[in-house]
Structure 1
């Protein structure tokens, strides 16, 4: 760019800062594919980053139905861009690359029907063979330029499925030669799932033998997450509190020492939610719309929810749970605590599924309290939206919670969380008994009686109409959009690039 000085009329040459290019590599990306919070993040964060001037794009697989969804959205062109290939387990693997535009964000989709045939996305058993879809996704990030004619400055990988990216750029027999081409950011969404494999996987994946002791070794196994933390230029977690939790023995799942050793590059950045999707003013999946200043429509949503599940509404508060039925989510204490409010103090709607053990426990709970409890196994987007809109209280008694999206969604719909003060829940929920701006009710110890007391406090507030209205208003007016997170990630990208 050429400017002129008013005093001297001389040319002043000013360098234009090039736009930062970042590729998010994720096994799921909403709305094309979604199994949990990672899908929401991969769908929303790049869009928000583009809003602050980052050329952010996504690379994700074409699991069954993904290309059909993209076509139905009118997001897919007639022909793929080309192909990418990588060597894994002593063979060449290839995929066609499609470029879709999803809500204005370029999404590169890898099509290989054999490799990406698992509708569940994540394998039940981890070994060299079942890891191939994720390893190929990781390596494809460094091959993408061949088909896309676009090259990122930063490769941003997520959780264990794409944790191989930072390690490959240092230890892979081929990709280490590309180390100068990319900087890396790695995000931990859940440290409980680290990607553990046997030692003999490394050679077939193309990693040098000395990479085991140099980066991956974990009690006799290969740990992909450990490798990413050791080798990425920056590591982020999905909330500030979680970045500290994972440095402790209780929260680190064996990696607390690794996290503490890398704390200088560890950043806690709170996730957001997409208010284009979760907004009671405009939500097409709920029967009545409302906002913080006029919540009348929430009553219509409750009526629809009660009718849907065959309840004759007697005015009892409706407690909801939306999530996976796992130990992490506090199912162990939740069902026992809710039972203490049966049969006539609350209704309970539980949406989710998990292991056979937890599914059976849930069915036994429903059968024991058939008049007050309804369950939905699996996940229905429509039912989830209606539950958030029609519910009164969201229960989140998590054993640990990296960020949590359910409480943020509940805020938007005026459904008040009762949550354990851990991780992102501690960062986002303000206890209404401790602050006039409270947005929920917290408890600390992971115990049935502690959850019961927190629910008791919430129910007492619910029967004080004026106070409950004030809490709802505070919750609905809180802002957890992706804007703040996008700005923090943009600054982190700049720091990473400057540190070269």
Structure 2
């Protein structure tokens, strides 16, 4: 076993660059590449949506769903493991196509989402024998693949080729669980015996994520602190009891970022490039963004916010303190969309402070990159944050995070005022506006001390949050899963 590369089939509903709604796509587009570079035999499987044109036909086969057959059409593409033109390593990507379920304008948000991901779960298990890729480990992501973990254990591991496959499930955000009525069990082709509080039943319904947590050999979240938090009632989303029961098989592995994509030394969206050795270019990026957005071009501290505008992100705290910050002369640039309440809140701040605030409602990748590059501070005062990629990207671009100590933020951002040598941001603990304001005020005081400020900016730009680091943890995680099923 040890002489052969580990074979992994990585399952995700969204993968950068093919389909993206959030951080899952970034992870699914980066982690397999890092694992392939480390010598792993890994392939990705995802749905083929209306807007995906890539892929060469491989095969098709019937998938049994309830009392009928649906056809899965398989196409294949690949993504290069690195941006190095001399590196020939690629990660195969298998697309599961079905016109009825996936020929849609969006990835999620349909009344038949349970049927769609139920079909996907069974189709991906059927796929294995049709492409002759029997993995050592099946890596499922989030609730959409939860039924596949149950199907593997209840049905497929009685079949030749599937018996020794280990399974792992990554929970990216416990809040999203996939809850449907009891008839969903029939659609999935699973036994009524799974309608049990110890299995997939959840307050009279069927819970896809719960099924994944129950049946996967190992479960992980995307940061060590979040793995601990979700075992508590406050963060457990009514699954904390199950997670405490499975705590011996629950781990936290911190995400990474694509350091080729997020590189201020080469970023095509920046007007000037810069690095830890040459930070002067960052000042020009800031001035150019101020000019682009019609803000006064000056040395006022610039606070950036690139985020989904939802309650999780601590935006109500920003609403409470924005006037205090802006009255000190700071500038604020927001890029994001989400809850209309918060969209309107930031629009109102822009009207009230036209010389200091710009709110771009929507998502604009190039503008987001420029905000990372131009901002002096990056706001992430989250209620909870499973991992967070924003703070890692901010580090890369020399923008100092101001965060609440929760989830992955607690694992990556350490308060400068507590330890000037190891500190890399400004941290508050209790979910209170006064504590956020204190953290912002402390950061603004440091900003006035240019010598110490520039030293901190250079320091954070040298931090390593690449996927190469996380990939080593995932390789050990897979080995542990194989041990659990008696393969090592």
TM range (shorter): over 0.9
Distance 1:162 1:454 in 2: 40
| 2:265 counterpart residue number | 281
Distance 2:158 2:440 in 1: 54
The C-alpha deviation readout for 1:281-300, integer Å capped at 9, x for no partner, is: 11122121111111011112
Distance 2:323 2:113 in 1: 40
User: How many Å apart are 1:135 and its aligned residue?
Assistant: 1.9
Could you tell me the TM-score, scaled by structure 1's length? 0.91
Say what the alpha-carbon RMSD is for the aligned residues: 1.7
Are 2:150 and 1:150 aligned? no
The verdict on how the C-alpha distance between 1:397 and 1:211 changes in structure 2, with shifts beyond 3 A counting, is same
Q: Say whether the 8 Å CA contact 2:125–2:152 is kept in structure 1.
A: no
Within a 5 Å distance, the mapping from 1:229-268 to structure 2 comes to 229-268=213-252
Are 2:102 and 1:119 aligned? no
The verdict on how the C-alpha distance between 1:459 and 1:124 changes in structure 2, with shifts beyond 3 A counting, is farther
| 1:332 counterpart residue number | 316
Q: Secondary structure at the match of 1:272?
A: coil
User: How many Å apart are 1:335 and its aligned residue?
Assistant: 2.2
Distance 2:363 2:400 in 1: 21
User: How many Å apart are 1:486 and its aligned residue?
Assistant: 0.7
| Aligned mate of 1:393, from 377, 391, 394 | 377
| 2:299 counterpart residue number | 315
Q: Say whether the 8 Å CA contact 1:316–1:344 is kept in structure 2.
A: no
User: Which moves more between the two structures, 421-430 or 287-296?
Assistant: 287-296
| Aligned mate of 1:96, from 67, 73, 87 | 73
| 2:84 counterpart residue number | none
The C-alpha deviation readout for 1:134-160, integer Å capped at 9, x for no partner, is: 222222221123442322221101111
Distance 2:231 2:396 in 1: 31
| Aligned mate of 2:92, from 78, 100, 106 | 106
Q: Say whether the 8 Å CA contact 1:189–1:237 is kept in structure 2.
A: yes
Distance 1:393 1:461 in 2: 11
| 1:468 counterpart residue number | 453
User: Which moves more between the two structures, 372-381 or 316-325?
Assistant: 372-381
Q: Say whether the 8 Å CA contact 2:282–2:373 is kept in structure 1.
A: yes
Within a 5 Å distance, the mapping from 1:342-421 to structure 2 comes to 342-343=326-327, 345-421=329-405
Q: Say whether the 8 Å CA contact 1:97–1:147 is kept in structure 2.
A: no
Gaps of 5+ in 2: 81-89
| 2:165 counterpart residue number | 182
Could you tell me the TM-score, scaled by structure 2's length? 0.93
Distance 1:304 1:56 in 2: 42
| 1:444 counterpart residue number | 429
User: Which moves more between the two structures, 360-369 or 379-388?
Assistant: 360-369
Distance 2:438 2:240 in 1: 32
Q: Say whether the 8 Å CA contact 2:333–2:359 is kept in structure 1.
A: yes
| 2:32 counterpart residue number | 46
| Aligned mate of 2:16, from 19, 30, 37 | 30
Q: Secondary structure at the match of 1:94?
A: strand
Q: Secondary structure at the match of 1:150?
A: coil
Distance 1:304 1:139 in 2: 51
User: How many Å apart are 1:34 and its aligned residue?
Assistant: 1.1
Distance 2:269 2:17 in 1: 15
User: How many Å apart are 1:16 and its aligned residue?
Assistant: 6.5
User: How many Å apart are 1:343 and its aligned residue?
Assistant: 4.2
Gaps of 5+ in 1: 1-14, 71-75
| 1:430 counterpart residue number | 414
| 1:479 counterpart residue number | 464
Are 2:150 and 1:164 aligned? no
Q: Secondary structure at the match of 2:144?
A: helix
Distance 2:242 2:201 in 1: 11
